[in-house]
Amino acid sequence: GNSVTQMEGPVTLSEEAFLTINCTYTATGYPSLFWNVQYPGEGLQLLLKATKADDKGSNKGFEATYRKETTSFHLEKGSVQVSDSAVYFCALSGGATNKLIFGTGTLLAVQP
């Protein structure tokens, strides 16, 4: 079945460091891919999405490219801020299922 695997956290970085959070997926068909973010004490928010191969989603300085050949959707940001501290969830939707499949989440802690 469909599944999402993302790197375990926590990831601890200093402000202005480069961020990569890895996400790989297994799916039948052509799923859409999402990154969601959960700030402390809040629900999940959509951060960015990509709906087909080679699409790049971007928002708030974050980017992720839908790579069908490596079944990956890694999240990157060139210079993180303290306010980026949150839990990040990779997810996929579509293919043979109506469900959204989430990874287990990666906690990012950015220190000043």
Partner 1 sequence: DVKVTQSSRYLVKRTGEKVFLECVQDMDHENMFWYRQDPGLGLRLIYFSYDVKMKEKGDIPEGYSVSREKKERFSLILESASTNQTSMYLCASRYSENQPQHFGDGTRLSIL
Amino acid found at 76? E
For 19, left (φ over 0), alpha (ψ -120 to 50), or beta? beta
Cβ atoms of residues 75 and 88 within 8 Å: yes
Return the number of the residue (4 or 110) whose C-beta is nearest partner 1.
Answer: 4
C-alpha–C-alpha distance, residues 50 and 89, integer Å: 14
For the bound state, the minimum distance from the C-beta of residue 28 to partner 1, rounded and expressed in Å, comes to 14
- Applying CB under 8 A, what is the total number of residues that bind partner 1? 21
Under the binding rule (CB under 8 A), the answer on residue 32 touching partner 1 is yes
Under the binding rule (CB under 8 A), the answer on residue 98 touching partner 1 is yes
For the bound state, the minimum distance from the C-beta of residue 110 to partner 1, rounded and expressed in Å, comes to 20
Under the binding rule (CB under 8 A), the answer on residue 96 touching partner 1 is no
Stretch of 11-19, 61-69, 71-79, 86-94 contacting partner 1, by CB under 8 A: 86-94
For 83, left (φ over 0), alpha (ψ -120 to 50), or beta? alpha
Under the binding rule (CB under 8 A), the answer on residue 62 touching partner 1 is no
Q: CB-based contacts of 51: which residues, under 8 Å, 6+ apart? A: 32, 33, 66
Name the residues that contact partner 1, by CB under 8 A: 31-32, 34, 36, 42-46, 49, 51, 89, 93-94, 98-100, 102-105
